[in-house]
Amino acid sequence: MQTIRQYISLHIIHPCLRIINRCTPKSGKNIFFLPHHNCKHDNYDVISYGADNTLCLINYMLREKRYDGYTFYIVHYEKEREQEYISYCRQINPAINCIFLYAAVTQRPVFKHLIAFYHCQYAFASDVYYNFTSKLRSQTVTSLGYFTPFKSDDRHLTDKRFDQLREYYNRSYSYQVTTSKISSHIQCVDKGLYWNRHLALGFPRNDIFYAPVPDNSIAGQLAAYLQIPVKKIILYTPTYRDYDTSEGEKRSVFGFAMDKTSMASLSAVMDKEDAILIYKLHPRQ
């Protein structure tokens, strides 16, 4: 049974938005970008972009001359840094017009964002939780993905709260980018998005790991900074789920109790191998 709010949204607001969209002139050189709303909490943005697929894609496209003359509408979550973002994009490519649209932390584009979207033939978002049901068939909306669905709390088949979301996935999104076919299968069943809309292309943010590093510069910079020889670099980036709690007791970043003796043993191995261990805490920790 529909609530009054659902009825108003479906039978009044949605048809009005469709009419506005249909009457708005569009250009294939206008692109709408909606990064994940966790940008605000996890401290990433168009400048520090490596954690978000949409932000990575923006930075790739800024460096491609074929997008000269395009207009990028970019949603952001740090109002006081808007001019900094504009300057950053202009410095990379002044031939691309970047318009930044502030948003509070939300999963729904506000009206001014929808108006910007209505001027675009293409849009990219970092997940499928954003409502684009007022889009036209001539508009292509792609979710670039946010996670790989291999943890139990990333699957919602029995979660009734997601039933309403599944209703608008197929009306909102033309494509869903995934990291593999098995990931496509899981998300297809979980989210209800048609199978032929899944593209196992990999995440834009993972391309960073394949970028060439000239002359092993990272190891050289670390060796100079630490004043020790560095032959091996081990990077550990756990999710907060790995070390949050265990039977009510706090755990260390390593996922188990690390006393002074264990730390000394680990350090001895690192010294012997001329290796360093870098671990990055999850923002929630």
pLDDT tens figures, 216-269: 677 788 888 888 888 888 888 776 665 555 545 555 666 666 778 888 998 899
| Higher local confidence (pLDDT), 156 or 30 | 30
Q: Is the confidence at residue 37, as pLDDT, over 80? A: yes
Q: What is the pTM of this model?
A: 0.81
Give the ranges where the chain is alpha helix by DSSP (H). 4-8, 14-23, 39-42, 53-62, 82-92, 111-118, 163-172, 181-191, 217-226, 260-272
| Higher local confidence (pLDDT), 127 or 247 | 127
Q: With the C-alpha atoms ordered 120, 122, 125, 131, is the resulting torsion angle positive or negative?
A: positive
Residue 80 neighbours by CB under 8 Å, 6+ apart: none
Mean pLDDT of 184-206: 90
- 235-247 confidence digits (pLDDT tens): 887 766 655 555 4
